[in-house]
Amino acid sequence: MHKINFLEVYYYIHKRHNEESALKLLKDIKIAPIKIDTEITDDILIKAGRLKALYKISLADSIGLAETIINGRYFVTADHHELEIVQEKEKITSSSRTVYASKQG
């Protein structure tokens, strides 16, 4: 998970619930077996820029998807309508795929 994508999750929890819940999530993520990337390599930059230019997606999603495609990671999102077309057109496979999570509430 890129730190920029984590920022989006933090923002969403803070907005929908409160700062205390968002801070708890931050603490929980830090102890979970989730790698938080802070660097954007040239490969990620180029792939994310291409995805952002071609599709109507957020910058954070373009970075997360670029990491998914390049590094074979999972990308968990609730943004079904924006990302399904990307998944289809970019032929994201089982080794690098988008996993959709339902929005609660």
Per-residue pLDDT of 4-18, as tens digits, reads 988 888 898 999 999
Q: Which residue has the higher pLDDT, 90 or 44?
A: 44
The confidence band for 96, taking pLDDT boundaries of 50, 70 and 90, is: low
d(CA 55, CA 16): 26
The confidence band for 105, taking pLDDT boundaries of 50, 70 and 90, is: very low
pLDDT at residue number 54: 95
Q: How many residues can be counted in the chain?
A: 105
